[in-house]
Amino acid sequence: MLRPVILRQYSGAFTRLNIAALLPQILKLAVNYRMLRIVWFNELFTSRARELAWKLR
């Protein structure tokens, strides 16, 4: 009777640890995604500006 309770508590702690361990990676991914999006938009914008400058030249 005791064993499942201990197991459940342990698994709960384990999942908490897992989440704590995964959070930084998830945050890193989110930051990387945001950075990539910003870079991509910048590239898009600069290429558009370059095309415009080429046309207006």
Residue boundaries of the structural domains of the chain? 23-57
Please state the rounded mean pLDDT for residues 42-48. 90
- For residue 20, what pLDDT is reported? 81
User: Which of the four pLDDT bands, split at 50, 70 and 90, describes residue 1?
Assistant: low
Terminal CA-CA length for the chain: 83
Checking 5-12 for CB contacts under 8 A at 24+ apart, the result is: none
Task: Tell me the pLDDT tens digit for each residue of 2-43.
Answer: 666 666 667 777 787 888 888 888 889 899 899 999 998 999
Q: For residue 16, what pLDDT is reported?
A: 79
Q: Which residue has the tokens 């500006």?
A: 49
Q: Residue 48: pLDDT above 70? A: yes
